[in-house]
Amino acid sequence: MSTISVVSDRAGDLDSSVTDSKHPITSTIRMPLLLAEQQMDVPEHQRGYYDSSYLADYYESLWTEHPTLQDTDIYWRYLKDALLLRKDRNRPFVLLDVGTGTGRVLKSLIGKVSREPAIPLSSVKFIGMDPSSYMLERARDGRDLPADADVSWFEGSASRLQDLKALTSPAVGVDLLLFAFSGINHLHLPDEVDEFFASMKHVLRLGGVALVSVCSALLDVQGSSISNPYGEVKEVKSKRLRGILYREETTGRTVNGDLLTNSLKTEAVKVNEDGNEEIMERNNHDVPLRLLTRDFLRECVARAGLQLLREEEAVEDFIFVFRKADIDEQ
């Protein structure tokens, strides 16, 4: 048996449970971390961290209202200012959310625009992009969105934004680009970060702005002793699927050059009415994360021909603000 902490709105209330040592309000219970001995017949899949319907639900249940994620207020400030100050009002303002996941940031911003009297919701075109079809399946669930919101979702790559169907026309450019929740740290392939910045410049309008989040725990790291920046052991109750909860444990961690790879085991568990548990899915994951430095980011930006304006500090990340210069500034 393993002792883990279950976070709740009220200590002792275990109906909404997220386990993570970062959070101050916890109660301690004892439970089996994984149910390997109980159901050895459930196959283990080696797959990407977001590559099943259960994993997408796990992500959404864990992060949609996570108390350490307070980044949407920063994104809203930039979006609101850009909408109120823009000169060309004869075309829609285009907002692209790269790595949108299940749509956490984009849906929050749609809600904020709809409640702002000075900004017509119809004046903004919202685009969400993610490489995972399972995450996008969740994002496309528009039950909480205004009926008149102009929002579309596309599967794609952060290094090939110009290939998105919504952006293939030369007449369509992005006014504000977001890459939230340290998505850039997941660009682990050789030259992928450079390719992202080049792609970003390609789709931004002249004068367009990009806000790119970098995980603070993975920025300018000194030494090789690095913990998992997203927490260690979690138990999460599904917000949508009745009786489903998720468990995760770290099985390994390696640092090789500028790559930190976390090896994880996750389980989707169904808790039946009699309290017995049934494993629905078991997965193993290797999750590579790129360690970044400010100097490297400046070099990438210079190669892409973009401007670095400033940094904004959030709770768990730094948000770098980039701009594509107007033609009279080039």
The domain that contains 188 carries what CATH number?
3.40.50.150
Q: How many domains are contained in the chain?
A: 2
Q: Specify if 270 maps to a domain.
A: yes
For residues 133 and 154, membership in a common domain is answered with yes
**Of 20, 294, 63, 54, nearest in space to 184 by CA:** 294
- For residue 185, give its domain range: 72-219+293-329
For residues 228 and 214, membership in a common domain is answered with no
Handedness of CA 135, 141, 144, 148 (dihedral sign): positive
Q: Specify if 159 maps to a domain.
A: yes
pTM for the structure as a whole: 0.85
Tell me the mean pLDDT in the region 74-84. Answer: 98
Confidence at residue 39, expressed as pLDDT on a 0 to 100 scale:
55
Helix/strand/coil percentages in the chain, nearest 5: 25, 35, 40
Q: Specify if 13 maps to a domain.
A: no
For residues 42 and 129, membership in a common domain is answered with no
For residues 297 and 186, membership in a common domain is answered with yes
Q: Which of 6-15, 16-25, 28-37, 237-246 has the weakest average pLDDT?
A: 6-15
Burial readout 79-93 (b: 16 or more C-beta within 10 A, e: otherwise):
bbebbeeeeeeeeeb
pLDDT at 278 over 90: yes
For residues 167 and 56, membership in a common domain is answered with no
Q: Specify if 282 maps to a domain.
A: yes
Handedness of CA 146, 142, 76, 131 (dihedral sign): negative
Q: Specify if 7 maps to a domain.
A: no
For residues 202 and 168, membership in a common domain is answered with yes
For residues 208 and 238, membership in a common domain is answered with no
The CA distance from 100 to 179, in Å, is: 8
pLDDT at 315 over 70: yes
Q: Could you report the per-residue pLDDT of 232-248, keeping only the tens digit for each?
A: 658 999 999 999 999 99
Q: Specify if 43 maps to a domain.
A: yes
pLDDT at 47 over 50: yes
For residues 260 and 119, membership in a common domain is answered with no
Q: Could you report the per-residue pLDDT of 192-226, keeping only the tens digit for each?
A: 999 999 999 999 999 999 999 999 999 999 876 77
Confidence at residue 179, expressed as pLDDT on a 0 to 100 scale:
99
For residue 297, the SS3 value is helix
